[in-house]
């Protein structure tokens, strides 16, 4: 129990190369994606669906009393199944991109909820990969896993410095479309077809100078009201779906 609770700490997770996955949907997606499950636990009053979520994992779950399970759970209560799963991130050079890739780059993301929401959108759009550049939140944070509803396992995700990410994209001839409030071209009018990486920065700081310099296609999301910015995950969703629309008709 002490070790499971300790896995909430980023340093402990990184040292072990794992993350904690809770919930029927999240665990089920991790298992179906082929993620390596090291350990699994079920609450004593679990439903058949909770056991089914582990089907194919190759791991015999341990039954825990309600109090013990809730103590180990990041949520505290409400989950029925908990698994210790290999860290879902890969190295940049392990990303397998197609001939016409669509990539999402997220720079300096701070909030697990925002990153998780972007991963859900990335899965829904069907993009090739997500690169998390200079992250200030841990991609393997259990709250990212939860906010993504397990989609952190269904989309290839790599972490890197911005410098490494820019070099990676340049070496592969992938254009950089950066979302900027100062851009003169809207995301509706920008060409988002072909090998392209859509780059989203933080809500308060925007993108760093490195990405501004690397961007060959600056785009903006038109805003008609008083608000001068959107939530980072909303911005990513708006531009990703426009890219998907353009590519479907190209």
Q: Which of 112-116, 181-185, 236-240 has the lowest mean pLDDT?
A: 181-185
- Model's pTM, two decimal places? 0.93
CA Rg value for the chain: 19
Residue 69: partners with Cβ closer than 8 Å, 6 or more residues away: 41, 42, 43, 44, 79, 82
The domains of the chain, with CATH numbers, are 2-87 (3.30.1330.30), 90-249 (3.40.1280.10)
Check whether 205 has a pLDDT greater than 80.
no
Tell me the pairing of strands 175-178 and 157-160: unpaired
Percent of the chain at pLDDT exceeding 90: 77
Q: What is the pLDDT of residue 160?
A: 96
For residue 30, the number of C-alpha atoms closer than 13 Å in the C-beta half-sphere is 37
- Smallest CA-to-CA distance from 58 within 88, 36, 80, 82 is with 36
Name which residue leads in pLDDT, 111 or 227.
111
Q: Give backbone dihedrals phi and psi of 211, rounded to 5 degrees, phi first.
A: -75, -35
Instruction: Give the H or E element holding residue 25.
Output: helix 24-32
Check whether 116 has a pLDDT greater than 90.
yes
Check whether 201 has a pLDDT greater than 80.
yes
Check whether 204 has a pLDDT greater than 80.
no
Q: What share of the chain is helix, strand, coil (3-state, %, to 5)?
A: 35, 20, 40
- Smallest CA-to-CA distance from 72 within 8, 9, 17 is with 8
Q: Give backbone dihedrals phi and psi of 210, rounded to 5 degrees, phi first.
A: -60, -45
Cβ atoms < 10 Å from Cβ of 32: 15
CA pair distance 174, 104, nearest whole angstrom: 11
């Amino acid at each position: 129990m002490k070790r499971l609770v300790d896995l909430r700490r980023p340093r402990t997770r990184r040292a072990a190369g794992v993350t904690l996955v809770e919930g029927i949907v999240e665990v089920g997606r991790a298992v179906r994606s082929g993620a390596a499950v090291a350990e699994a636990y079920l609450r004593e009053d679990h439903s058949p669906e909770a056991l089914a979520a582990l089907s194919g994992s190759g791991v015999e779950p341990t039954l825990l009393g309600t109090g013990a399970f809730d103590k180990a759970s990041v949520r505290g209560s409400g989950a029925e199944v908990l698994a210790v799963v290999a860290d879902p991130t890969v190295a940049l050079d392990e990303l397998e991109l197609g001939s016409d890739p669509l990539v999402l780059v997220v720079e300096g993301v701070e909030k697990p909820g925002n990153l998780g929401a972007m991963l859900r959108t990335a899965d829904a759009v069907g993009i090739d990969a997500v690169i998390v550049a200079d992250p200030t939140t841990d991609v393997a944070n259990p709250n990212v896993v939860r906010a993504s509803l397990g989609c952190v396992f269904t989309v290839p995700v790599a972490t890197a410095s911005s410098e490494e990410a820019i070099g990676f994209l340049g070496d592969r001839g992938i254009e950089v479309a950066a979302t900027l409030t100062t851009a003169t071209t809207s995301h509706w009018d920008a060409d988002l077809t072909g090998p392209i990486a859509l780059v989203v920065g933080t809500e308060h700081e925007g993108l760093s100078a490195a990405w501004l310099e690397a961007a060959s296609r600056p785009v903006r999301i038109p805003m008609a009201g008083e608000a001068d910015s959107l939530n980072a995950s909303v911005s990513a969703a708006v531009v990703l779906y426009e890219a998907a629309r353009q590519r479907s008709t190209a």
